[in-house]
Amino acid sequence: MRITYFADVRFPLERANGIQTMETCHALVKNGHSVDLIVRPDTHTPARDPFTYYGLAPDPGLRLERAPVGGPATAKRLGFVAFALGRSIGTKRADVLLTRDLGVASAILQVPRWLRPPLVYESHGYAPDVAAALPDGNAIAVTTVATIRTTRTTRATGFRRAAARSLEA
């Protein structure tokens, strides 16, 4: 199966989601699938090799493609989402799309089902639950009521759209 995995992060990334993304893609390839991992460019010069960075053997079944985005954060985000939309329906179309980015998933779900492959959204955490599990006074991860409400609304909208689209398919 040909899989396109969208990760709107600079890559490689030292945080857990970078490690999990690379390990997931590597495992999919080891199980016989072909994976195109679409990421933002590394911020280091020269760009680091993700296989070396994560200590994994290179595999021709796992191809890394850096979306050509730049500028301020908003421009990078819009550029990545636009690139993901193009790759979803373009000539390099996969059998299935995979992302853990709700914004990318929501944008792709706006494309009619007959124009794009199936989409798998991998959810990692729900902000209010994560915030509630943190010890009081943790300055690193402060979640405001406004952020919780925004997250609930964004996720609920994304899930409603995903459910509606899946019923149309």
**CB atoms inside a 10 Å sphere around CB 113:** 13
Q: Which of 146, 86, 78 is nearest to 115 (CA)?
A: 86
pLDDT value of position 148: 43
- CA–CA dist 43, 84 (Å, integer): 20
Q: Record the pTM.
A: 0.71
For residue 22, the model assigns a pLDDT of 87
What pLDDT score does 157 carry? Answer: 55
Q: For residue 109, with 0-12 CB atoms within 10 Å meaning exposed, 13-18 middle and 19 or more buried, which class applies? A: buried
Segments making up each domain of the chain, as ranges = 2-124, 126-169
Here the tokens at position 27 are: 């495992």
Which is it for the CA torsion 80, 101, 120, 153, positive or negative?
negative
Pairing of strands 34-40, 2-10: parallel
From first to last of its 169 residues, the chain has per-residue pLDDT tens of: 999 999 888 777 777 778 888 888 988 999 999 999 998 887 888 888 888 888 888 899 999 999 999 898 888 898 999 999 998 987 778 999 999 888 888 889 888 888 889 998 887 766 566 556 555 544 333 333 344 444 455 555 555 555 555 555 5
CB 35 within 8 A of CB 3: yes
What's the pLDDT at 142?
A: 37
Residue 83 to residues 51, 52, 106, 164, Cα–Cα distance (Å): 23, 26, 14, 24
For residues 3 and 34, the answer to whether their CB atoms sit within 8 Å is: yes
The C-alpha atoms of residue 15 and residue 32 are separated, in whole angstroms, by 27
**CATH code reported for the domain at 2-124:** 3.40.50.2000
| Helix locations, 46-144, DSSP H | 50-54, 73-89, 102-108, 127-133
How far is the C-alpha of 5 from the C-alpha of 37, rounded, in Å?
A: 5
